[in-house]
A and B are shown apart, each in its own frame.
Chain A
Amino acid sequence: MDVNSKHELLKKYAIEMGTVKPNRKVYVVEPANVRRIFEELIEKYGYESFYLSTIVGTDLKEEGKIRLDYYLVLLPEEETVVIRTLLPRDNPVISSIVDIVPGALSGECETHDLLGVIFRGNPFLKRGFFVPSDIAEKGVYPLRKDSGV
């Protein structure tokens, strides 16, 4: 039940590992595996073994990718790890985790509104909640580098 076994679980899915800063590990995983990781964490360690701090989306225009960082805090060790995944910029679709991790709601809705990432299975996605309605009506995603706003 120690934190190392949780790291082992994440390592199993990692295609690349690194750190975002000292003592903060980042696991790069396939987009298709993100939901599976959360399912497995809940299955093995229970709902109270972690919380999702935030979801950060970044537009990597040169690489044609959108990067999603899930900031996860492992409990009770209070250790923050990052689950990173890269989506194709022209079709950014990933499975939602809002039904198993309700804390993902604001992160998913915000990333959808600002970057246009579609979280399949999230019934609450809509435009114009975080973004001003005049920008949302134009159909542009303001955090994309070529949005022109």
Chain B
Amino acid sequence: MSRAAGERRAEYKIVRYSPWIVHFNTGACNGCDIEVLASITPLYDPERFGVKLAPSIRHGDILVVTGAVTKKAAERLRILYDQMPCPKFVVAVGACAIDGGVFAGSYSVVGGADKVVPVAAYVPGCPPRPEAILDGIVKLLEIIERGEVKEHGCK
């Protein structure tokens, strides 16, 4: 492993152990939101990965974006993202958050979350299963662990 990757790993240490997530709906039909909420219930037990819902965006490490990003929500998404402490990662959940889904090209829709904020992981599905959402977050943690993550949103 290169020296730079080692340094980055140390920098991400806190995130690796307990990535607190913040959930933001940028214009979803609520299908994905229900699955995100299901994935943070004891049935799927996300706290075995240290994952829990942050009380505020300013305590959040991972921003979970659901839904096509509307032009109105794009401004808010950017504001939320700017308020997160570094390092920070975005997970786009669902077909709509990836590229706009069936709403791509609409007059009120920007497109996917990556048009507004850097996205580190994509979870496809309409909606994705709660297991898939947790899997996406855990895969992101693995990428962070290996020091291969590109989009950490700082510097």
Contacts and interface: CB of A to CB of B under 8 A. Distances in A.
B78 to A, nearest CB: 15
Contacts of B71: 132-134
Contacts of B107: 132, 135, 142, 149
A14 interface: no
Interface string B55-88: 0000000000000001110000000000000000
Looking at chain A's contact residues, is the secondary structure mostly helix, strand, loop, or mixed?
A: loop
Contacts of B70: 132
Interface residues of B, number: 5
Interface string B91-109: 0000000000000000110
A149 B107 CA distance: 6
Contacts of B72: 132
A131 interface: yes
A132 B108 CA distance: 6
B3 to A, nearest CB: 46
A135 B71 CA distance: 10
Nearest to B107: A149
Interface in A113-149: 131-135, 142, 149
Nearest to B108: A132
A133 B72 CA distance: 8
Nearest to A129: B72
Contacts of B108: 131-132, 135, 142
Contacts of A133: 71
Interface of B: 70-72, 107-108
Given A133-B71, A142-B107, A149-B107, 10 more contacts: A131-B108, A132-B70, A132-B71, A132-B72, A132-B107, A132-B108, A134-B71, A135-B107, A135-B108, A142-B108
Interface of A: 131-135, 142, 149
Kindly list the 4 A-B residue pairs having the minimum CB-CB distance in the complex, ordered from nearest.
A149-B107, A132-B71, A132-B108, A142-B107
